């Protein structure tokens, strides 16, 4: 390619494009500057420098141009038929634009220097050029422009190959300017390869979308024709009515035992279905809604077994203990029985009709449904009790798991405007039960979550309110549902984690755990039979004595419920099953006697290994400064130790054991009381001078909080300072004030049961908690001694060794 070098040339500004070396283009000379530049070139050596204009002259009065231009040869210039001038130019090479040069005429002359283009003959540039050709050919093949692909093979220089990108109309002006100003050939090729790759990806995506759309349209048309043919065939066979199936829904509506308002809504939806085309998505939505409505058990109710003694027998057969819940169920059945025998429900309905009221009467709302909340530690039988209640009453049972539910729509359903909408769990529970008065267990109601999707516990307020749930409205169904006859049972581990408004709507019954005797009875009467069946054994093959059961309860489990107890029984029976199965194999030397396998207390270790739990109270409290406290956790009552020590150093108090703020304040109060009453407590002089105290509650990995450890911390500090140990058989609980008063606490029953499990025989309680001892099982009360204290001095008198 012939090139001419010169130091000054007339400048032709390009307003709407970029000319690269090697390009032959026709330029429209629309501006005076462009015409003057071409005229100056044709009057000398036919050379101009073509420079893209980046911005027009604005407020500054100066236009901006690219720093690199293209020296071009003006091959022809003429006036076109439209009255404007045009010039055909051929790009020769790049040039770096310098300053303007003074000249005569209207043309703008500039100094310039031919640009050096490094890395034009490297192996890297050759590889990039080949890659560019391959990608461009793929693009051109998709567009059907094979001639240009053939012309591309005639370009051999790597830099010239990159400059062919200037012909692409999709390439923006900014990128073309960037291409012009990039002098390094390798860098220029890297850019154009990246750009054409992006362009090829866009083309392939568009082609895939076009193909998918075409395939989808063909599939839709094919399905439409097939459905039309199928409908015509079914019509000829008499299997399809002309109204698109609406006659079937009308026949179902005639027998639907729903309230008039519901029937009216259903009839309107059937009318909409008849007016809607079968091909419309709304037709499917209406059918789904109608199917859901007709699947609900409108008017179907289970007949309650109102025999009080029979219901109590069923409850006692299924569960040992839990008398509070059993009494409440029996009371409910007794009230229902009396109202039914005396016809009070019918009289109330007549009164409501005369008064113009709708829904259950006020008196019937208190008896038609019952809402109990069973609160207690894991494994005490809350969930299984729901099934037992349903069996005792002769009702269907449905369990609704609420643990971890965060979406309010899970309770009230999704609105029909959403794709994939469905009713909430309450409606689905009624459909699953098949009656309008089932026993619905709302399991783990204290584990409900809340986020940006709503608060499920707030949605439960209407469900669990006897004054409102007779007109419960699910978002999906959007009709009133009467839940007043549903018996709701909620379960929770911690009542404190249930929102106050929801807790206020439920009758709370606390299940605080089982005594040792109750656990033995449960294991003997319920768990053993279930585990024998699970492990393929019979009662005649394995016999576990009551003393062995008690050994398992005391030495291998320490819990409020019986889940660990059942696991230990399962482990024992699996080993017994292994021994029995091995004895029946021919040639074995381990032969079991013809009688059953008998497990006694001494034989428990053979099957379960060493004991997991033992009484450590005496060992832990053998030194002064260690007191035994009682606490309540999510797993029931528990025993905790409070350790106190002192060391030389600056006065102060260190508290450890992952304690909450309330418990830390209790430690501060305890130390302040002891210091302010040092004389009354007969503490030695100088007991607090230059001494730092440390209070620690072991099991540091477990968070602890609450005010009930104040008495225990005070006793530990006094024991330390007086060098008097605390009696090992004594446990204590209570909140303390700065004046030494002992204030009442909660969870007395759970704490006493925990003390009993740990082997303690004496418990110190606040005096105002005395009436709470009536809740403690009589068998436990007979085995323990209780000291009621109203002042810390009484606590110290009972706790410290004389």
Active site residues: 708, 751
Distance CA 727, CA 750 (A): 22
Q: How many residues does the chain have?
A: 802
CB 583, CB 592: distance < 8 Å: yes
**What string of DSSP letters covers 368-385?**
H--EEEEE--TTSSHHHH
SS3 252: helix
Distance CA 763, CA 195 (A): 83
**What string of DSSP letters covers 661-672?**
HHHHHHHHHHHH
- Spell out the long-range contacts of 128-137 with Cβ–Cβ below 8 A and sequence spacing 24 or more: 128/158, 128/186, 128/189, 128/190, 128/193, 129/158, 129/161, 129/162, 129/189, 131/193, 132/161, 132/162, 132/189, 132/192, 132/193, 132/196, 133/161, 135/193, 135/196, 135/197, 135/200, 136/164, 136/196
CB 271, CB 261: distance < 8 Å: no
Q: Give the side-chain half-sphere CA count within 13 A for 742.
A: 26
Task: Give residue 762's region: left, alpha or beta (phi > 0; psi -120 to 50).
Answer: beta
- Token pair in block for residue 524: 């003997």
First CA to last CA distance, the chain: 117
Backbone phi, then psi, for 429, in 5-degree steps? -65, -40
CB 130, CB 162: distance < 8 Å: no
Q: Is the dihedral of CA 459, 461, 464, 470 positive or negative?
A: negative
Distance CA 371, CA 114 (A): 92
Distance CA 626, CA 640 (A): 10
437 closest CA partner among 372, 491, 488: 488
Beta-strand pair 439-443/397-401: parallel
**What string of DSSP letters covers 264-324?**
HHHHHHHHHHHHS-TTSHHHHHHHHHHHHHHHS-TT--PPP---HHHHHHHHHHH-SS-HH
Distance CA 728, CA 745 (A): 23
CB 694, CB 644: distance < 8 Å: yes
128 closest CA partner among 56, 182, 64: 182
CB 48, CB 37: distance < 8 Å: yes
| For the chain, counts of helices (H) and of strands (E) | 29, 25
- Helix (H) / strand (E) element for 352: namely helix 344-355
SS3 363: helix
CB 727, CB 748: distance < 8 Å: no
């Amino acid at each position: 390619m012939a090139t001419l070098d010169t130091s000054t040339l007339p400048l032709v500004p390009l307003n709407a494009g970029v000319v690269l070396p090697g390009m032959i283009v026709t330029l429209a000379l629309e501006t005076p500057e462009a015409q003057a530049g071409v005229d100056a070139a044709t009057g000398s050596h036919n050379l101009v420098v073509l420079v893209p204009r980046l911005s027009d002259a604005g407020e500054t009065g100066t236009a901006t141009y690219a720093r690199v231009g293209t020296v071009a040869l003006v091959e022809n210039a003429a006036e076109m038929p439209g009255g404007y001038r045009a010039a055909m130019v051929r790009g020769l090479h790049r040039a770096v634009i310098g300053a303007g040069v003074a000249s005569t005429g209207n043309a703008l002359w500039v100094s310039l220097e031919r640009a050096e283009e490094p890395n034009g003959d490297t192996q890297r540039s050759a590889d990039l050029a080949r890659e560019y050709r391959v990608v461009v050919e793929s693009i051109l093949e998709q567009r059907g422009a094979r001639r240009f692909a053939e012309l591309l093979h005639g370009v051999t220089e790597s830099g010239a190959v990159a400059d062919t990108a200037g012909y692409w109309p999709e390439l923006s002006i900014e990128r073309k300017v960037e291409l012009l100003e990039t002098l390094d050939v390798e860098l220029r090729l890297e850019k154009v390869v990246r750009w054409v790759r992006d362009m090829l990806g866009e083309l392939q995506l568009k082609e895939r979308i076009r193909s998918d759309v075409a395939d989808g349209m063909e599939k839709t048309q094919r399905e439409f024709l097939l459905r039309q043919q199928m409908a015509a065939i079914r019509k000829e066979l008499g299997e399809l009515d002309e109204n698109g199936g609406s006659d079937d829904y009308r026949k179902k509506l005639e027998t639907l035992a729903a309230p008039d308002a519901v029937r009216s809504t259903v009839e309107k939806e059937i009318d909409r279905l008849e007016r809607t085309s079968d091909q419309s998505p709304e037709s499917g939505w209406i059918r789904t809604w109608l199917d859901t409505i007709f699947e609900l058990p409108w008017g179907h109710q289970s007949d309650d077994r109102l025999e009080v003694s029979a219901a109590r027998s069923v409850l006692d057969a299924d569960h040992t203990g839990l008398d509070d819940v059993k009494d409440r169920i029996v009371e409910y059945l007794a009230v229902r029985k009396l109202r039914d025998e005396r016809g009070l429900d019918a009289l109330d309905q007549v009164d409501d009709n005369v008064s113009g009221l709708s829904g259950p009467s006020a008196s019937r709302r208190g008896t038609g449904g019952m809402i109990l909340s069973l609160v207690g530690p894991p494994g005490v039988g809350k969930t299984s009790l729901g099934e037992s209640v349903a069996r005792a009453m002769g009702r269907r049972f449905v369990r609704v798991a609420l643990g971890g539910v965060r979406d309010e729509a899970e309770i009230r359903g999704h609105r029909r405007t959403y794709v994939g909408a469905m009713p909430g769990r309450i409606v689905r529970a009624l459909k699953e039960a098949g009656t309008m008065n089932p026993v619905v267990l709302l399991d783990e109601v204290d584990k409900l979550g809340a986020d940006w999707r709503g608060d499920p516990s707030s949605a439960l307020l209407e469900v669990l309110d006897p004054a409102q749930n007779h007109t419960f409205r699910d978002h999906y169904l959007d009709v009133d549902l009467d839940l007043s006859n549903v018996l709701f049972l909620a379960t929770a581990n911690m009542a404190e984690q249930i929102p106050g408004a929801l807790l206020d709507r439920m009758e709370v019954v606390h299940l605080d755990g089982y005594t040792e005797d109750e656990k033995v009875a449960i294991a003997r009467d319920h768990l053993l039979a279930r585990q024998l069946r699970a492990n393929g054994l019979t009662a005649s093959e394995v016999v576990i004595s009551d003393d062995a059961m008690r050994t398992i309860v005391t030495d291998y489990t320490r819990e409020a419920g019986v889940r660990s107890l059942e696991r230990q029984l399962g482990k024992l029976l699996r080993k017994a099953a292994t021994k029995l199965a091995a004895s029946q194999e021919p040639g074995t030397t381990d032969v079991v006697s013809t009688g059953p396998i008998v497990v006694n207390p001494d034989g428990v270790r053979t099957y379960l290994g060493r004991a997991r739990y033992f009484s450590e109270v005496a060992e832990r409290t053998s030194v002064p400064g260690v007191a035994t406290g009682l606490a309540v956790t999510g797993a029931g009552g528990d025993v905790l130790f409070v350790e106190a020590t002192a060391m030389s150093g600056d006065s102060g108090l260190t508290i450890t054991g992952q304690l909450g703020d309330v418990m830390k304040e209790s430690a501060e109060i305890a130390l302040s009381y002891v210091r302010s009453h040092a004389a009354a407590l007969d503490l030695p002089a100088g007991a607090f001078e230059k001494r730092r105290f440390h209070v620690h509650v072991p099991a540091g990995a477990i968070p602890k909080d609450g005010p009930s450890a104040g008495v225990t911390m005070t006793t530990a500090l006094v024991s330390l300072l007086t060098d008097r140990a605390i009696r090992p058989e004594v446990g204590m609980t209570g909140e303390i004030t700065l004046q030494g008063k002992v204030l009442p606490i909660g969870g007395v029953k759970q704490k006493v049961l925990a003390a009993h499990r740990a082997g303690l025989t004496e418990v110190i309680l606040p005096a105002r908690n005395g009436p709470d001892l009536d809740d403690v099982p009589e068998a436990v009360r007979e085995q323990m001694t209780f000291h009621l204290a109203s002042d810390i001095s009484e606590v110290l008198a009972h706790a410290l060794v004389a």
